[in-house]
Amino acid sequence: MTVDTVIVPISDMHSGGSTALFPNYMMQFENANVSPKDKQKEMFEHWTACAEEIAKVRKGKRLLIVHDGDATEGWHHNTSQVVTMLENEQIRIHIELMDHFLKIVKFGKGDDLYYVKGTEVHTNGSENVIGEDLGATPCGEFYAWEELKLEENGIRLWFTHHGPTAGDGANFGNSFRNWLKNKIFYECVNNGIPIPHYVITGHTHKPCWTDYVGRHERKYHRLQGLICPSWQMRTRFGHRAAPLQLGDIGLQYFVISKDGLTGDPVERLMR
């Protein structure tokens, strides 16, 4: 029996980074006790508010949550922007944050949680450990997916961490739309693969929603794309890669009805 389902992609939490989301209390680690900064406290309030909104929206509905890569920050390129360099402690931060979120949204029987693998320099396999601890749906013997392809109420959903940027200025969204057209739609057509209805990516930290409508087998098919925002303020690398730009922190969600109708994505960002 199908039911209305709320789709909640979460991406790029980068737990353990000094500019990333952090629990709203002091955590005791092996080499230091760490308390959140003022901006991290604001992020945690937004994290909680997002969970509370989803808890209201999901009443009478199934919940599908997908963390779409880069669950932890790792320690890389000799960065000093971490609260701990130890992988097990970064994993602990992430699990505590997700436990808080899952409790508020009343995640339970009939709901599903998935983890998609992110960038190795950040996660180093930590998402498999996290997924197992949180009871995520496994991929064979492991608990994190390279690419995730689901079908929910007849709607095909593809999740992958890496994808194109959204672009800038007057060209915002063009590169993402062209990628959907060239790399997804026509790759599916040319290889006889069912075309997805949604492709959801992360990695670039700049949210975007766009679509491409193509014609195949005498029918029109709408392919929608989402790039997820992150839960990390800009690092020194971010300031170099995108100087003077605003950071987008938060999440998006949308509903697929039991009849296979999809609503527009709802975006909840803090500046």
Query: What are the pLDDT digits (tens) for 97-151?
Result: 999 999 999 999 999 999 999 988 888 889 999 999 999 999 999 999 999 999 9
DSSP run (H or E) holding 199: strand 198-201
The region of weakest confidence among 51-65, 228-242, 248-262 is: 228-242
Dist CA 269 CA 50 (whole Å): 9
Longest dimension (CA), the chain: 64
pLDDT at 200 (0 to 100)? 98
DSSP run (H or E) holding 46: helix 38-57
Phi, psi (deg, nearest 5) at residue 136: -70, 160
Mean pLDDT for 1-17 is 94
In the numeric block, which tokens belong to residue 47?
Answer: 């994290």
Tell the residue number behind the tokens 């794309």, with chain if given: 225
The model's pLDDT over 227-245, given as tens digits with 9 standing for 90+, comes to 999 999 876 665 666 665 6
Residue 78 has pLDDT above 80, yes or no: no
List the strands of the sheet with 112-115, edge to edge.
112-115, 62-67, 5-10, 249-256, 266-270
In the numeric block, which tokens belong to residue 206?
Answer: 């700049």
Taking only Cα atoms into account, the Rg of the chain, rounded to an integer number of angstroms, comes to 18
Residue 268 pairs with which residues in a beta bridge? Answer: 251
Dist CA 115 CA 194 (whole Å): 23
Dist CA 122 CA 90 (whole Å): 11
In this structure, how many other beta carbons lie within 10 angstroms of the beta carbon of residue 38?
A: 7
Whether the CB-CB separation of 117 and 146 falls below 8 Å is answered with yes
Whether the CB-CB separation of 195 and 237 falls below 8 Å is answered with no
Residue 200 pairs with which residues in a beta bridge? Answer: 159, 226
In the numeric block, which tokens belong to residue 135?
Answer: 């009871």
Dist CA 36 CA 14 (whole Å): 15
Which residues, including other chains, have CB under 8 Å from residue 109's CB and lie 6 or more apart?
none
pLDDT at 242 (0 to 100)? 67
Give start and end residues of each alpha helix (H) in 173-251: 174-179, 186-191, 236-241
Residue 76 has pLDDT above 80, yes or no: no
Dist CA 57 CA 242 (whole Å): 34
In the numeric block, which tokens belong to residue 189?
Answer: 């057509």
Tally of domains in the chain:
1
**Structural domain that includes position 42:** 5-270
pLDDT at 19 (0 to 100)? 94
The domain that holds 98 is classified in CATH as: 3.60.21.10
The model's pLDDT over 174-185, given as tens digits with 9 standing for 90+, comes to 999 999 999 999
In the numeric block, which tokens belong to residue 61?
Answer: 């509905």
pLDDT at 238 (0 to 100)? 59
